[in-house]
């Protein structure tokens, strides 16, 4: 059982960048349940169906509209709110978009991360910061075994390279400015493809599937044989929260640095396997291989070694793929209902997830 408690967030001030995004909105819901005082910083939600909007987060947390590349604005938010915890999730998060606008991707993901680190450095009172990058930060060699935190960083496409570059900036700040005993404890987290309700991003497999299934269209698959570490969004978020708690504790300095949060090997399946499971649980639907878009520039094989988190944090991914897909489909199905209904369902899924965690002890 993990020795780190999520009760540490109760009553604490948490600044969350990227709160309007998919993972950030789920993290905001979880932090609210833990009794944290949450301020979000990010761009406005992109779609009316985004989790932030359908869960009514606008009226549940303080959200500041702002661009992470604007250091003055970000720094003012830190000065005014004086957070104790920081979770940085704001990013240009899509590989295909990074080919369309590499400059935006690099400035958002690298300069944005630099701005957050600088604001952490300049504002006293911050105990712990968790900076989200990606499994794509590794130099991908199509290994069949998992990447360890110490493996070389890299990235052929602009998104992956921006995440590798952000990791180098984070590591430099930890080594240059956050070594002193009373300085903030800072870690980076690397997770793979996450699934869950309220994600309506373009060119992501689950939103693409739901869009097609809702109007009885065949789902077009770009890279059916690509192998990805799929997991429900609650799995890595639980890891981020445990890590934040560990960083804020008496041995916080020993938890600084990079962490992988991926699924168990049985959840590492192809895009085609995942889509078959989605269709099965939706109850109907079909798919086809999109020959024209095949062999796009995404890598085919990417697996994370999660031993560090398993052993040192006692974090454990517990949802089998079937259960992750079931949560996800249920979450999309109720999105037309009221904000309270959606928020309460997200909250109930977090409770169910924690019960599964506790039952594994």
Ligand X SMILES: NC(=O)c1ccc[n+]([C@@H]2O[C@H](COP(=O)([O-])OP(=O)(O)OC[C@H]3O[C@@H](n4cnc5c(N)ncnc54)[C@H](O)[C@@H]3O)[C@@H](O)[C@H]2O)c1
Instruction: Please pick, from the candidates 89, 185, 219, 309, the single residue that binds ligand X as defined by CB under 6 A.
Output: 89
The first and second tokens of residue 139, run together, are 């130099």
* Paired residues of 222 in beta bridges: none
Instruction: Please pick, from the candidates 39, 92, 267, 328, the single residue that binds ligand X as defined by CB under 6 A.
Output: 92
Residues 159 and 118: beta-carbon distance below 8 Å: no
Nearest residue to ligand X, using CB? 21
Whole-number Å distance between alpha carbons of 163 and 105: 9
Helix (H, G, I), strand (E, B) or coil at 270: strand
Q: How far is the CB of 92 from ligand X (least distance, A)?
A: 6
Q: Which residues fall within 8 angstroms of residue 145, CB to CB, at 6 or more apart?
A: 303, 305
Question: 22 or 138: whose CB is closer to ligand X?
Answer: 22
The position carrying tokens 């690099």 is 106
The verdict on 67 binding ligand X (CB under 6 A) reads yes
Question: 249 or 263: whose CB is closer to ligand X?
Answer: 263
Number of residues that bind ligand X (CB under 6 A): 25
Residues 88 and 169: beta-carbon distance below 8 Å: no
Q: Which stretch binds ligand X (CB under 6 A): 64-72, 177-185, 273-281, 341-349?
A: 64-72
Residues 285 and 212: beta-carbon distance below 8 Å: yes
Binding track over 93-132 against ligand X, x by CB under 6 A: x--------------x-----------------------x
272 burial level (CB within 10 Å; 0-12, 13-18, 19+): middle
Q: How far is the CB of 88 from ligand X (least distance, A)?
A: 8
Q: How far is the CB of 18 from ligand X (least distance, A)?
A: 3
Q: Which stretch binds ligand X (CB under 6 A): 15-23, 56-64, 297-305, 315-323?
A: 15-23
Q: How far is the CB of 183 from ligand X (least distance, A)?
A: 24
Whole-number Å distance between alpha carbons of 59 and 65: 14
Whole-number Å distance between alpha carbons of 28 and 38: 7
Question: 67 or 305: whose CB is closer to ligand X?
Answer: 67
Within positions 178 to 237, which residues make up the interface with ligand X, using CB under 6 A? 191-194, 201
Residues 155 and 136: beta-carbon distance below 8 Å: yes
Within positions 24 to 53, which residues make up the interface with ligand X, using CB under 6 A? 24, 42-43
Residues 235 and 318: beta-carbon distance below 8 Å: yes
> Where do contacts with ligand X occur on this chain (CB under 6 A)?
18-24, 42-43, 67-69, 89-93, 108, 132, 134, 191-194, 201
């Amino acid at each position: 059982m993990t020795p780190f408690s999520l009760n540490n967030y109760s009553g604490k001030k948490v600044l969350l960048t990227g709160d309007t995004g998919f993972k950030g909105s789920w993290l905001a819901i979880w932090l609210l349940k833990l009794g944290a005082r949450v301020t979000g910083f990010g761009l406005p939600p992109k779609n009316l169906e985004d989790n932030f909007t359908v869960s009514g987060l606008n009226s549940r947390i303080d959200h500041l509209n702002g661009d992470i590349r604007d250091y003055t604005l970000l720094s003012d938010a830190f000065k005014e709110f004086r957070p104790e915890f920081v979770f940085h999730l704001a990013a240009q998060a899509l590989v295909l978009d990074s080919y369309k606008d590499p400059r935006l991707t690099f400035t958002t993901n690298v300069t944005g991360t630099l701005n957050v680190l600088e604001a952490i450095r300049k504002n006293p009172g911050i105990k712990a910061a968790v900076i989200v990058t990606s499994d794509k930060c590794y130099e991908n060699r199509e290994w069949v075994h998992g990447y360890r935190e110490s493996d070389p960083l890299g990235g052929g496409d602009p998104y992956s390279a921006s995440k590798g570059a952000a990791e180098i900036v984070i590591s430099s700040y930890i080594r240059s400015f956050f070594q002193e005993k009373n300085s903030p404890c800072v870690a980076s987290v690397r997770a793979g493809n996450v699934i869950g309700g309220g994600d309506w991003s373009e060119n992501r497999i689950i939103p693409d599937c739901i869009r097609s299934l809702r109007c009885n269209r065949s789902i077009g698959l770009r890279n059916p044989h690509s192998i990805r570490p799929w997991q429900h969004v609650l799995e890595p978020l639980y890891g981020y929260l445990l890590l934040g708690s560990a960083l804020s504790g008496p041995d916080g300095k020993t938890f600084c640095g990079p962490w992988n949060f991926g699924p168990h090997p049985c959840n590492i399946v192809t895009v085609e396997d995942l889509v078959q499971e989605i269709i099965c649980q939706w109850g109907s639907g079909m798919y086809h291989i999109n020959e024209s878009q095949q062999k796009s520039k995404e890598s085919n094989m990417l697996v994370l070694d999660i031993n560090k988190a398993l052993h040192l944090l006692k974090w454990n991914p517990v949802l089998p793929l079937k259960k992750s897909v079931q949560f996800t489909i249920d979450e999309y199905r109720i999105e037309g209902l009221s904000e309270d209904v959606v928020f309460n369902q997200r909250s109930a899924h977090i409770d169910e997830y924690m019960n599964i965690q506790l039952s594994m002890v």
